[in-house]
Amino acid sequence: MSTIILIFIIFLGGAILTFLASALKGILKEVLFLASVFVPVVLFFTNISIGQTFSFQAAGFAFQWGITPLSYVFALIVAGLGLMAAIYAVSAMRNKENTGFFYFNYILTIMSMLGILFSRDLVSFFIFWEIMTWSSYLMVVYQGKDVQTVGIKYFIFSAVGAYAMLMAIVVVYSLTGSMMIDSLVQSFPGFSFDMQLLIPILLLIGFGVKSAMMPLHVWAPGAYSHAPMAYSSIFSGALSKMGIYGMVIVMVSLISHIPEGHWFREVIAWLGGITAVMGTLWAIKQDDAKKLLAYSSIGQLGYIIVGVGIGTPLAMMSGLFLAVMHALFKGTLFMVVGAIERQTGTSNLTEVTGLIRKMPWTFLASLFSIIALAGIPPLGGFIGKWMLYESLIVSDHYLLVIVIFFSSTAAFLYCYKFLFGFFLGQEETEWSHVKEAPAMMVVPMLILAVSTFVLGVFPGLILNPINEAMQTLGYANTQGHLWEMSVIFNEWGNQVAMQPIVYTIIGIFLFFLTFLTIKGYKETRYVTTKDISSSGEVPKEHENLTFSMNFMQPFFRAVEPLMRRQIDKYYNGFANGMEALFDFTRRIYTGNGQTYAMYVVIFVVLLLLLKTPFSDN
């Protein structure tokens, strides 16, 4: 039996077994859960090689599964983050209700994401896409909060996206007579112009929903923040990347072949830019860390969309690199929030303060991720953003550079808010009992955080598979003139070498460490946070000295016009209008027998009068 099918059988069987085992007490379900994530992932890394395929026929369609260099990059994200989040989830979900349900959906999500990446034909792509949608939907409503608003909104948007994609699929099938992605790519240049526009637009609606592209993003804040954090980690980290994966295929393999199609790229890139700005602005405004991260995910996905949209080699590379980085740091941050919520019972930034000494390892993980998110060297986010700026400038998108630069700078505000709100500030007695999260939660976070560092210093580790993927998509080899293992070159002959930066930073760090240790050792005096005086007044025990409410007021006064219009309101208005309309159609059925008899008579009379539908033979 082929290993490919074996992977899916293990996933599926594991999901069902774990669900059944969850009725039992004890550790069995957790072992089964981890096994059914680990075993297929290990099989994937050991036994699957690029190019290996598995084909079969069902329901009159040909199915083909296999991995390509591009999907391998995304499979790295899914498998890596999926494993880490699985370990984290075991500890995070312990003692919760319905763990079997959680495990079941978790495994199905991982399976469907790998399935999407394996699919070489559109039918299985769609099948896995839909499994991913409903399993993630069940996780969004898992905690039973706002199910009829947030949950339904997520599913409506997903369904609209998926059905747009389905329409594109059947149209492609009717045009080419084949469901293979390759045959779509090959015959696309021969399509009529209408179809050349229709198919990418429909596909991009589908992918845009999942990657939270403006204006299809409105489901994301609620969905990301309502799912259990152990799941949000892969939800935002990996699941949204499936949209990016599809988008890469569409942008590179289809849109390049539209005559005069470069404006299409501009549109997508600008949508990405707007997404980045708006996501960032809204993220700053949030007081709930989950919401903050959810909006921040939207913003970060905006950068990725810009990169993929522009589509020059450097831009594409930056987009893919940022996709990997975003999976790492946003996955970690959601885990951090989950850990804090578990230990303190809330995820509100204005309530929890001063956890830095209580949860030092969690702090370390979030510090790394925040630095990566903000794009500060030497962590990974910097490389991605650097390449993104450079590619925008080189391809003359100056206005877009400003937009991206603005949102990237504004992102510092919420980064700071996150770190300050949770970890810094005054230690309050309310949180004095808080302890560090269990090791099974901390270790995955730290592993992910350290890998952002490693990839920041040696970006070549991940740029290498990205480069291979891009070569199969038709790009030239960029190794050597755009990047090396730890060096990024640019068009003007300069280069950004990561290792020297790292050495410098480590040097400065060590210098201050030794300096402070030697100089200040004897003068050190341990104080509490209240051991200060301001203007001669000594603060009392319960006086609050740090504030985390209403941060950045002046900033919001400046950007308020941007945020006044919320697209969400239009959608809600539309939905309400529809409901009212449907309430009207419901009244066609009056419940009155005479009316129904009248309908029959009218029907017959109308048909007899308008015989045209019948008489055109």
Q: Of the ranges 147-155, 299-307, 378-386, 418-426, which one interacts with another protein (CB under 8 A)? A: 147-155
Q: Which of 492, 521, 526, 614 binds another protein (CB under 8 A)?
A: 614
Give the residue with the Cβ less far from another protein, 506 or 602: 602
Q: Of the ranges 24-32, 123-131, 382-390, 417-425, which one interacts with another protein (CB under 8 A)? A: 123-131
CA 405 to CA 391: how far, in whole Å? 13
Q: Which of 60, 474, 480, 554 binds another protein (CB under 8 A)?
A: 60
Q: Which of 1, 58, 518, 549 binds another protein (CB under 8 A)?
A: 58
Q: Of the ranges 152-160, 265-273, 537-545, 559-567, which one interacts with another protein (CB under 8 A)? A: 152-160
CA 577 to CA 573: how far, in whole Å? 6
Q: CB 180 → another protein: shortest distance, Å?
A: 15
Give the residue with the Cβ less far from another protein, 170 or 516: 170
CA 251 to CA 564: how far, in whole Å? 32
Name residues contacting another protein, limited to 173-202 (CB under 8 A).
173-174
Q: How many CB atoms lie within 10 A of CB 237?
A: 30
Cβ atoms 486, 457 nearer than 8 A: yes
Q: Is 450 in the site for another protein (CB under 8 A)?
A: no
> From residue 329, how far is each of 143, 367, 444, 529 by CA, in Å?
24, 10, 12, 30
Q: CB 203 → another protein: shortest distance, Å?
A: 14
Gyration radius (Cα) of the chain, Å = 27
Q: Is 142 in the site for another protein (CB under 8 A)?
A: yes
Q: Is 611 in the site for another protein (CB under 8 A)?
A: yes
CA 376 to CA 340: how far, in whole Å? 25
Q: Of the ranges 139-147, 328-336, 346-354, 389-397, which one interacts with another protein (CB under 8 A)? A: 139-147
346, two tokens: 């809330």
Q: Is 599 in the site for another protein (CB under 8 A)?
A: yes
Residue reference for tokens 């209240």: 530
Residue 287 φ then ψ, to 5°: -105, -15
Cβ atoms 467, 459 nearer than 8 A: no
DSSP state of 49: -
Q: Is 1 in the site for another protein (CB under 8 A)?
A: no
Q: Which of 123, 227, 289, 340 binds another protein (CB under 8 A)?
A: 123
Q: CB 18 → another protein: shortest distance, Å?
A: 16
Give the residue with the Cβ less far from another protein, 554 or 591: 591
Dihedral (Cα; 169, 72, 36, 221), 10-degree rounding? -70
Task: Give the residues across from 62 on adjacent strands.
Answer: 57
Q: Which of 13, 144, 345, 577 binds another protein (CB under 8 A)?
A: 144
Residue reference for tokens 């009992």: 433
Dihedral (Cα; 18, 24, 27, 32), 10-degree rounding? -20
612, two tokens: 């045209």
Cβ atoms 391, 266 nearer than 8 A: no
Parallel, antiparallel, or unpaired: how do β-strands 483-484 and 487-489 relate? antiparallel
Q: Is 54 in the site for another protein (CB under 8 A)?
A: no
Q: Is 131 in the site for another protein (CB under 8 A)?
A: yes
Give 183's Cβ-side CA count (13 Å radius): 15
226, two tokens: 């309502």
Give the residue with the Cβ less far from another protein, 549 or 588: 588
Q: Is 155 in the site for another protein (CB under 8 A)?
A: yes
Q: Which of 127, 424, 443, 487 binds another protein (CB under 8 A)?
A: 127
Give the residue with the Cβ less far from another protein, 58 or 549: 58
Peptide bond preceding 465: is omega within 30 degrees of 0, i.e. cis?
no
Q: Is 147 in the site for another protein (CB under 8 A)?
A: yes
Give the residue with the Cβ less far from another protein, 104 or 282: 104
Name residues contacting another protein, limited to 579-598 (CB under 8 A).
579, 581-583, 585-586, 588-589, 591, 593, 595-597
297, two tokens: 């995910």
Give the residue with the Cβ less far from another protein, 139 or 352: 139
Cβ atoms 333, 362 nearer than 8 A: no
Q: Is 207 in the site for another protein (CB under 8 A)?
A: no
Q: Could you tell me how many residues of this chain bind another protein (CB under 8 A)?
A: 58
Q: CB 520 → another protein: shortest distance, Å?
A: 56
Peptide bond preceding 215: is omega within 30 degrees of 0, i.e. cis?
yes
Residues of this chain that bind another protein (CB under 8 A): 57-60, 123, 126-127, 130-131, 133-134, 137, 141-142, 144, 147-148, 151-152, 155-156, 159-160, 163-164, 166-167, 170-171, 173-174, 579, 581-583, 585-586, 588-589, 591, 593, 595-597, 599-600, 602-604, 607-608, 611-617
